[in-house]
């Protein structure tokens, strides 16, 4: 795909594509990124193929510096091991790399996220009699604690964006300013929540998530309706730059669409 005329039009981008491209753009070249499977993996691999060729991807299976040629379905695909700078035991990836503070960006998903960016991936409803039992913590609590910063990718709805998570699996900004420091969490926590509607960022003073950008065609009102708390909107609300044709083309080659 080299001829410009074969690139897809930005107008054809769907909401998930805008979300993924926006997430990819948040990853600076040369930085390290702890990558989970699904949207984070897609976004990181997109970044590596566009503006961040030296993005250093770490998967929790122990592959350091993986550069898969196709999107892995799982965090332990053979392609990851074959293309990695190094494959280390799981103990080392968590202790020597994550806990030691060597990862710049952690990417997390969420089943629920609250006003302060705390995340639930354990259970919806009562823990002992859950409405929905979710997979659980995995690497997330320590990714949220120890990465330099965290980016959350999650589709926005009132069921997902809740006033208070039913279970705090991974700490965002706790109950507000100073909580991360009090808990001894070394990273900055969630600095950006990227959804299919826009981008939320913590208010520097209150640590509450604020809508700072909406994707093309999305209104602040729609984002507020998709949020289970009274979502504040930044006075200088931006519109997310639309995906570029090349970004869309690479993304679709990764996901097999188009």
Partner 1 sequence: MILPLDRAVAELVRDGDTVAMEGFTHLIPVEAGHEVIRQGRRDLTLVRMTPDIVYDRMIGAGCARKLVFSWGGNPGVGSLHRFRDAVGNGWPRPLELEEHSHAGMANRYAAGAAGLPFAVLRGYAGTDLVGRTPTIKPITCPFTGEELAAVPALNPDVAIVHAQRADRAGNVQMWGITGVQKEAVLAADRALVTVEEVVDELEPVPGQVVLPSRVVTAVSPVPGGARPSYAHGYYVRDNDAYRAWDAVSRDRDRFTAWLDAEVFGAGGGPGTPVAAPGGEREEQTA
Total residues in contact with partner 1, by rule CB under 8 A: 61
State yes or no: residue 32 binds partner 1 (CB under 8 A). Answer: yes
> Angle at which helices 15-25 and 245-255 pack, to 10 degrees?
110
- Give CA torsion, residues 21, 18, 76, 106, to 10 deg: 70
Binding segment for partner 1 (CB under 8 A), chosen from 2-10, 149-157, 182-190, 244-252, is 182-190
Min dist. Cβ of residue 120 to partner 1 (A) = 9
In the set 17, 60, 208, 247, the catalytic residue is: 60
Separation in Å, CA 73 to CA 38, 80, 115, 199: 8, 11, 31, 26
The helix (run of H) or strand (run of E) holding residue 113 is strand 112-114
117-136 positions binding partner 1, by CB under 8 A? 122, 127, 129-130, 132-136
Q: Does 185 bind partner 1 (CB under 8 A)?
A: yes
Among 17, 3, 23, 7, which Cα is nearest to 194's?
23
Residue ranges in 160-179 that form contacts with partner 1 under rule CB under 8 A = 167-171, 174, 179
Q: What end-to-end distance do the CA atoms of the chain give, in Å?
A: 12
Contact predicate 66/86, CB 8 Å: no
Window 101 to 120, contacts with partner 1 (CB under 8 A): 101-102
Q: Which of 103, 113, 175 is nearest to 145 (CA)?
A: 103
- Least CB distance to partner 1 at residue 136 (A): 5
Quote the least distance from Cβ 101 to partner 1, whole Å: 6
Binding of partner 1 at residue 100 (CB under 8 A)? yes
User: Judging by beta carbons within 10 Å of its beta carbon (0-12, 13-18, 19+), is residue 220 exposed, middle or buried?
Assistant: middle
- 60 counts as catalytic: yes
Q: x/- site string to partner 1, residues 140 to 159, per CB under 8 A?
A: xxx--xx-------------
Residue 76, interface with partner 1 (CB under 8 A)?
yes
Q: Which of 241, 252, 194, 201 is nearest to 217 (CA)?
A: 241
> CB of residue 85 vs partner 1: minimum separation in angstroms?
5
Q: What positions carry a catalytic annotation?
A: 60
Q: Which residues form the interface with partner 1 (CB under 8 A)?
A: 32, 37-38, 56, 60-65, 72-78, 80-81, 85-87, 89-91, 94-96, 98-102, 122, 127, 129-130, 132-142, 145-146, 167-171, 174, 179, 183-186
């Amino acid at each position: 795909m080299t001829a410009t005329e074969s690139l897809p039009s930005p107008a054809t981008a769907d909401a998930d594509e805008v979300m993924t491209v926006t997430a990819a753009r948040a990853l600076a070249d040369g930085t390290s990124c702890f990558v989970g499977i699904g949207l984070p993996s897609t976004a990181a691999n997109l970044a590596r193929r566009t503006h961040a060729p030296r993005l250093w991807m770490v998967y929790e299976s122990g592959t350091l510096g993986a550069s898969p040629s196709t999107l892995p379905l799982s965090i332990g695909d053979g392609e990851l091991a074959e293309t990695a700078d190094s494959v280390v035991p799981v103990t080392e990836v968590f202790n020597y790399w994550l806990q030691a503070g060597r990862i710049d960006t952690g990417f997390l998903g969420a089943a629920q996220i609250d006003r302060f960016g705390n995340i639930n991936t354990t259970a919806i409803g009562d823990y002992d009699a859950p409405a929905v039992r979710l997979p659980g913590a995995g690497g997330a609590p320590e990714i949220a604690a120890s990465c330099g910063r965290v980016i959350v990718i999650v589709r926005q709805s009132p069921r997902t964006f809740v006033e208070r998570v039913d279970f705090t699996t991974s700490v965002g900004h706790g109950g507000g300013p100073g909580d991360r420091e009090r808990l001894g969490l070394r990273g900055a926590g969630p600095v950006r929540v990227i959804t299919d509607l826009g981008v939320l960022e913590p208010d520097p003073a209150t640590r509450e998530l604020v809508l700072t950008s909406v994707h093309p065609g999305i209104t602040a009102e729609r984002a507020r309706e998709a949020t289970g708390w009274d979502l504040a909107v930044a006075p200088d609300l931006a519109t997310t730059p639309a995906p570029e044709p090349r970004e869309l083309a690479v993304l679709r080659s990764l996901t097999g669409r188009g």
